[in-house]
A and B are shown apart, each in its own frame.
Chain A
């Protein structure tokens, strides 16, 4: 059963509305902000300031050291904004780990992959990689896969809506199958996990603005789960959905993504009910068009 992700906000983070987090005065590192670089070319000056902010090292703050205090504000703003961005993109990871852990991850992620597009909604894709290497995963081994799922839902929620080009259906008649290709819509994505990540994800959704985890129900669901969980993510009526699919359908769509033509697809999946799948996929806006591959 497709599940709507209405509770995921796709709103990006404004860089104007900044946080009032307190400035750390606990560190013993003393490196007053130098005004010397600002006598050089603007590009170098700006790079220098950005480098100082992204160093994110705490500074001791002499009572009258306005420069260090100012730099600390920019550093705190950066981490606070990045943390808020992760909270929006990864609401279940946020519920599982809490503010402090997310802030730590934001700090690490800023160092690993600084933002580059001007839209915070584009940032944070590598969180799953950070989690794989994190001790947090010792307790929650499914965390990286939940992160991947949430990133895919986030991407799907922002993907353009594309109507099926119905006139391309006529290609099914008379076109050599070895040249006929299927193009899925831009929002369609696949994920496979050893954990029932859809169950875990749904258990952490809010209902009517309230969040309450039914741990008994979740434990039952987890105990019942066997084998890999394969999910299809897609957009329908402007909302992202996820749907558990069979291994057969998963491999079929994966092969479409790998640019196999229809002849190859049918060869590789001799028992696949193509007609039925096509009809359902069209109904659920998962296919953009059929097309002929030019060689």
Chain B
């Protein structure tokens, strides 16, 4: 199999020590009105797929002021049906326009067939962790990296279904993906915790730390922090990004930074958005935690 040349030299450690936030529509005004002590913002790629109109102006303003991470949510990298070429063309055009520091999507599937027609399922659908699905994911990530001419980061997802016939566990699956496709991994610590709460027994934080221990640090290019709405058993926790980063997630973050070093970190908050000031406080908390656990990095210029 041909591997993309651009992916042979992992570049995801370039942004060590950086802290950012997810930038969503209601915060555009605040984010663009002043300078803030964050190193980058992340936007959802599909929100800027329009070929014209006001969103292009907004994107220009964002990239004038901040380093940008493009987080795609619809690529369906694990899809057995081929990833839609038009989609990749739009993503490629967006990357060209916005020159992002990072591009990421998820270890899930979404393209499929329904009643004989191509469909995009509109969600991050779970993969059964098998060698066959691993091969599909590796091939798709390779195709995407070649198409985009750059390395991407692939994120672990929250899932709400378990598969009895899985022959690999999630960390084996993700590590094999990173080794074979030479992508980086975006480890969403909240997703790890949601899955642990929903499907594992034992102390959740301990199980989550064991999960993290199974991922070699050099594969991790970014960490996501978030919170979720608590539920009563037997309801499953839903990864709704509607709360402040949970204390459990901060504890796991502390462990992750101590183990992996100052990995680029992003605070995600998508629903029931707080004020921009509260979001900045969450980012500041992440920065303080990162700086207290790791020696200062030379040559890293923060926005602060």
Give the interface residue-count category, chain B: 35 or more
The reply to whether the CB of A82 lies closer than 8 angstroms to some CB of chain B is: yes
Q: Which residue of A lies closest to B237 (CB)?
A: A20
Complex Cα distance A45/B132, Å? Answer: 12
> Does B248 reach chain A (CB closer than 8 Å)?
no
Measured CB to CB, the closest approach of chain A to B122, in angstroms, equals: 5
Q: Are the CB atoms of B52 and A160 closer together than 8 Å? A: yes
List residues of chain B with CB within 8 A of the CB of A2.
none
**Min CB distance, B56 to chain A, in Å?**
7
Complex CA–CA separation, A167 to B14 (angstroms): 48
Cα distance A158–B112 when bound, in Å? 26
Q: A35-B164, A159-B51 are in contact. Are A73 and B238 (CB under 8 A)?
A: yes
CA distance A81 to B132 in the complex (A): 30
Query: When chains A and B are docked, how far (Å) is the Cα of A54 from the Cα of B119?
Result: 10
Looking at A109-117, A168-176, A210-218, A252-260, the stretch in contact with chain B turns out to be A109-117
Q: Which of A10, A49, A63, A78 contacts B53 (CB 8 A)?
A: A10
CB-CB < 8 A to B124: which residues of A? Answer: 15-16
A177 within 8 A of B: no
For residue B281, CB closer than 8 A to chain A, the reply is: no
Q: How far is the CB of B226 from chain A (nearest CB, A)?
A: 10
Mask of B102-113 contacts with A, CB within 8 angstroms, 1/0? 000010011111
CB pair B110 A11 closer than 8 Å: no
Question: A42-B130, A53-B125 given. 14 additional CB < 8 A pairs?
Answer: A10-B50, A12-B49, A18-B238, A19-B238, A35-B164, A42-B132, A50-B125, A53-B123, A69-B234, A70-B160, A70-B236, A74-B161, A115-B120, A156-B53
Residue-wise, chain A 31-70 has the 8 Å CB interface mask toward B (1 for contact) of 0010100110111011101110110000000011011011
**B110 and A114 within 8 A (CB):** no
Interface pick from B81-89, B215-223, B290-298:
B81-89
Asked if B80 lies at the interface with its beta carbon under 8 angstroms from chain A, I say yes
Distance in angstroms between the alpha carbons of A107 and B79 in the assembled complex: 24
For the complex of A and B, list the 4 residue pairs with the smallest distance between their C-beta atoms, beginning with the closest: A17-B270, A70-B160, A158-B50, A118-B74
Query: Among residues 51 to 95 in chain B, which have CB atoms less than 8 Å away from a CB atom of chain A?
Result: 51-57, 71, 73-76, 79-81, 84, 86-87, 90
Q: Which chain A residues lie closer than 8 Å to B86 at the CB level?
A: 117
B residues less than 8 Å from A10 (CB atoms): 50, 53-55
How distant is B105 from chain A, measured CB to nearest CB, in Å?
10
Find out whether the CB atom of B84 lies under 8 angstroms from the CB atom of A74: no
> How far does the alpha carbon of A118 sit from the alpha carbon of B25 in the complex, in Å?
19
- Interface status of A193 (Cβ within 8 A of chain B): no
Q: Which of B47, B50, B123, B130 contacts A18 (CB 8 A)?
A: B123
Contact of B52 with A121 in the complex, beta carbons under 8 Å: no
> Which among A12, A35, A114 is the interface contact of B117 at CB below 8 angstroms?
A114
* A-to-B contact residues, CB < 8 Å: 6, 9-12, 14-20, 23, 33, 35, 38-39, 41-43, 45-47, 49-51, 53-54, 63-64, 66-67, 69-71, 73-74, 77-78, 81-82, 114-121, 156-161, 187, 235, 238-240
Q: Which of B52, B79, B229, B241 has the most CB of A within 10 A?
A: B52
List 15 interface pairs A-B (beta carbons < 8 Å), by A numbering: A10-B55, A15-B123, A16-B270, A18-B123, A19-B240, A43-B112, A64-B234, A70-B236, A73-B238, A115-B122, A116-B118, A117-B87, A118-B84, A118-B87, A158-B55
Contact of A161 with B52 in the complex, beta carbons under 8 Å: yes
